[in-house]
Amino acid sequence: MKKIDGWVTTPQGFLAAGVKAGIKASGNHDVAVIYSTVPAATGAVFTQNKMCAAPVLVSRKVAAKPYAQAIVVNSGCANACTGEQGLKDAESMQAQAAELLGVEPEAVYVCSTGVIGHFMPMDKVAQGIADAVDAMDESEGESCAMAIQTTDTFIKHAAYEFEIGGKTCKIAGIAKGAGMIHPNMATMLTFLTTDAAVAPDVLKRAVKAAADKSFNMVVVDGDTSTNDSMIVLANGLAENEIILSEEHPDYPAFFEALLACAQDLAKMIARDGEGATKFLEVNVCGAATWDEAKTAAMAIAKSPLVKTAFFGKDPNWGRIVCAAGYSGAAMQPDKVNLEIGGVRLVEHGMNCNIPLESLKDIMEQHDISMKIDLGAGSEEATVWTCDFSYEYVKINGEYHT
């Protein structure tokens, strides 16, 4: 497996485009289409927020099918909390894209992102879908990625090449997400394409497993959006022997590539937390179970006190052990060890009395890791997050305007 420069159009048989339809006041790209030239096995996971948006309701029905062929998406309007009209609008987007692409409506996913509670400007959306379909090409992966952004400060994309069964396969993905990021599931929008041949039921399980170890391990602010969706299309054009089960000899190589692509995108989302100045990796080891390791890591990663300490470049390790302590995970206080940037600050639950000035260079860095051993077992989990800055408050305080 090797990392390559690519977009959702890099795997064989995928076309895409993003256009400016005028939904966003900024005039930036805001409607996109991703299309597989042949039916593709599909797997997807969605937000568990009970106030989920209309497009999520539509897309869940698509995800229940074994195959799909396209994704239509807009940014600038979430189409959430819009009642029956919102559902009709989402279905209209699906139907229009299907007609233009010559596929059945149930083969088209619909996604939206943006401000909640506004009706879709369907005249602009309809024109945007038509323009995006007209513009679809193997070279338009970047414009597609631009069209799904909201408060993102950079385009998020990743791609890998891997070999299975003597065939060269590719997988690529794009994502959007910077705030309102918290697990259950996908904590943003992300779309992955691959030309590997994978049975639909195997792919569905693989997508859930990959999400649990990537996007469900990212937290920016503890808010789970109404629109979060992770969608994967696998069209099989690499012509490898189809992977019919997790016991297939090629499954580990496929899953490794899927997970690597998903984790790359997940880390980018954490790096792009609104107003973030630090990318933080929280590793919890010595836990009784993996779930408890994740619980403790999430408590640390979500703590406003921990996040603001790193923004202020203050190695206030007491906030970290405190968060682990209230997380509910089992721990042995007299066995707890803590490191920041590889420097041991706590050992056997006691202050190592390291001069905090010695951590100055570490706290100045953009990427900072911390590791806490709970002393309760052998399981570990890693969560990715960012700091809270003045800019985070400004961005979210002015989001609607």
Ordered alpha helix ranges (H), 244-400: 251-271, 290-302, 304-311, 317-326, 360-364, 390-397
The span from the CA of 3 to the CA of 372, in Å, is 30
State the residue for tokens 């959430």.
80
- List beta partners, residue 156: 175
CB contact burial 203-231 (16+ within 10 A = b; e otherwise): bbebbebbbbbbbbbbbbbeebbbbbbbb
Task: Give the single-character DSSP code of 350.
Answer: E
Q: What is the dihedral of CA 387, 305, 371, 220, to 10 degrees?
A: -40
Write out the catalytic residue numbers: 187
Question: How far are the Cα atoms of 32, 35, 70, 95, 228 from residue 98, in angstroms, in the given order?
Answer: 14, 10, 8, 5, 22
CA-to-CA dists, residue 257 to 87, 124, 160, 173, 194, angstroms: 35, 37, 7, 11, 10
Tokens of 15: 């076309």
Residue 5 CB burial class (10 angstroms; 0-12, 13-18, ≥19): exposed
Question: What's the token pair of residue 259?
Answer: 């997970």
Q: Going by DSSP bridges, is the β-strand pair 367-373/279-287 parallel, antiparallel, or unpaired?
A: parallel
The residue to which tokens 């890591």 are assigned? 297
